[in-house]
Structures are given as structure tokens and as C-alpha cells.
Structure 1
């Protein structure tokens, strides 16, 4: 049985230097800042790296990838992440492939990631895939805090901004991937886990609305964990709204800078026993 907290600093952010220490991942993306003298061949339904238009991959804003959602048109996808990076065409094509560079959070280091978008018969976005599991882990990091060693108790924290669309209780594509990682971690480390899921908002908005939204988000997280194999009877789902803020930011108007400052307060916490 693996211990999630071995060799972990308190609140170590998954998706940066500690990905390999915590997550059980398959495959391997290009190493940080690799000159890639040996380019990856085609495999697992992805084209070879050598066929893309950008030598070394293209840097992308993580928030743009996080806004990708089911039902988007090809034009909407292009507005967010650009044209596909291979000569695949635009009309009638049901698969687009991209080669993105994502920073690891360790200085200027980055990894090169292959990303694939699939469209349905109506040419609306149906699903997306990453070639390597550590790539989506960079977009949605998970913080792990050890609360007690014996009996073991740990708290996992995920940003509400990346789990959910704005003002919504619908899980995002990358949010669902993050919860799949959480489920794997929990089921691997605990024989019969007890999981407390608590949703939080920031202080802007009506108090009762925020309380309701945080409860709906906790329930959405719980439902998805159940779909991944965690038993419903082992879950407790709570919404705390504006309670227990992590940061206190000045300003009474929800300007972009104030909302960014308050981002840590908009979160979902999972306490594991």
C-alpha cells in the first residue's frame, strides 16, 4: 500500500517537481528543455512529433487549454488554442493534433506534450486526449497536506477555477481528469477510504448563492468520484461558501486583480482517512 505523503513537503503542489513522486503515470513526455535529438514516433493514435509545423512545440497559455469544453465549434477551438499543428485540414476533419510546451513550474523548464481534439458528426468538440498523463497534471495541480501520520489523514486541495467553468457546477474536461488522478491515488493508498469533500467560494456574490454553489460543486465532485470507483457511503459532501478563507485581499469591487488575489479561496478540499 503506497503512502501519498512519503517524501512530500506539506502542501507540495503536484504537477511540478513532485509529479513523479506521487502519481502513478504511464508514458513519458519529452524531458524538460530537451533538444529532442530523437523525436518520438507515432503511437497510441498520435502522429510522430516530426510531422508538426512547430520545431520544438508551441508554448500555450494554460488557461486557454482549460477553457476547452465539449460542444465547442472548430472556430471556437481555434480562437482558444489556434490551428492544429499538423496538415490535417479544417473542413470535414474530425481530429486535430497539437504539440504544446508546458512549463513545469521549475524555472524555465518545460515539457513537450501532444494534445488531440476529437469532433463529432456535427463537427462539435466531443473529447480530448493527452499522449502523456503528466501533461494534464501540470494544468490542474493537486496540493497534498499531511494532517496526521497515525491513523493517516491527508487533505487534497484543488482549485475551483480549473475544476469548474465560471459560475457553474459542471466539471471541466481537465477537472474530470484531475479527479480521475485523485481517485487512483485514493484507491491505491486506502483500503476503505473515508472522504470529506468541501466546496468553497470567494467573498463576492450573495452569501446564500455562494453557499448553494459550493454545495453543488461538492456534490459534482462526489458524483464523479463515485463514477471512478469510490463508494458513495464513504463520502461526505459539504458546501461552506465563503467560510474559512485562505487569503484576505483588499478591495470591495471584483476587479480582475482582486479576483486573482482571491483565487486560493475558490477551492475544493478533500480530507482522506
Structure 2
């Protein structure tokens, strides 16, 4: 009997510890279904539950790229790690704190939640307050598209091979290769304060479409971040990811190594610099 009691106590203690590690939080949404919906969406308390209470200013293009079916890895690439202690037992929801600058000055703070289906792909997304999502529809017209008093000239186009910019499958600043950094330093030195810059990431056709879309956008954002660190005004840079949709070459090699080599021109980052006379 004593042995059984000790076994029961050990199991109970382990279960209690697991609940603690999982957060055992009161903000878990109710009734999350296999297809990623909730009967009651519950948002966490920033002061009590957030590990990153200051939140972040998200990249709006990254937010617009979030769509049903993105994986946790893809969401991490686009938005970063969640800002709340979500637990360790495969949580089905991620929460963020986002700030947005108002046109007339000041900052709006919003909470953002992604709920995952049984395969841990995000399917539904929620804002608190609900109207915060309107910021995604209010896309500002890029400076390069606004009519200007001066006549625009043809943009300078620079194409950098992704294989020379990043380590294999890399996408972050830490993944930039020395040669890639030298090329970006030289480019940043040629960009004037009045120039507008458009950075577009491209991939080859290997991998899923969703993965390639996220990878191309992440690489474009990394190039943008590097140029900003080098002194290019952030508000002058527009980024986008085109995934595999605009290939330069078509390849039919059957061997994987040969196919990867042939598709190299498709793995690239294109940078256009728009200057006024």
C-alpha cells in the first residue's frame, strides 16, 4: 500500500508540475476545434501574462502576408516569437502585443491572436480591440508611386544572388555571408537620402509555395534591415516577397544537385533604387 501511495504521489506531483510548465493560464481560448476555430476567444492580460510587455512595432507587409495555413515556423519568421508564455505542450494559440503609429501622431496598442488547427497551422486570427485589423487595409501608397513635382528617372536595378548573400536556407542578418555584406555596404553607400528603394525577394520552385513565399519575404526584410543599419532611411524602403512566381530560368534536370545549380538564378533579391532628377 505504501508503494502504491508513493507512486500515486509521484504521478500527482508530475501532473502538477506539467500544469505549471504549461502556464496553466486563465487566458486559454475555449473550445478550440480541429479546424482552428474557438467557441470563445480569450485574450491574456498584458501586465500579468506577457513576458514581452513592451510589445513590438510589426512590419505591416509581414502582417499582410499572414494567411490561413501558415505554420508556426512561418509565423515565427513573419512576426517573431509570441509575446506571452504560451506553455510547452504544443499550444494551439499564439498571442502578440503590437503597436501602430497614428497618422496624426501617437501610438495605438493592439493584441493579436493566431489559433492553430490540429496540424498546428494557423487558421483564424483575432484582434483586441477588433478594429485594430483595419490597419492592414489602410495600405499607404509607397513613396515611389506618389506623383512628384520632379520627373522620375528609370530606377537603378541591382540583382543579388541569394546563394551569395545567405548561408544555405538562411534568411536572417546572422545568415548573411561576408561577400553579401560587402555588396550591401557598397549599395548602401550609393543610395542618397532622397532615393526610394524597393527590395523584392525571390526563390526557386523547390519547397512548398507557402514556404517559398515566407522565405522570400524574410530575405527581403533582412536586406531592408541591413540597409537601414547602414544608414538608409527605413521609411524609404519598401519590401515584398514573390516566392517562386517570377522565375528567370526553367530547368528540367533529374538529378537534385544539377537541378539546384540550374535554378540558382531564380534564388535572388532584386533591389530597385528610384531617384528624382
**TM-score, length-normalised on structure 2?**
0.42
When you count helix as a share of all residues, which structure comes out higher? Answer: 2
Larger Rg: 2
| Higher relative contact order, structure no. (Cα contacts within 8 Å, ≥ 6 residues apart) | 1
Tell me the TM-score normalized by structure 1: 0.42
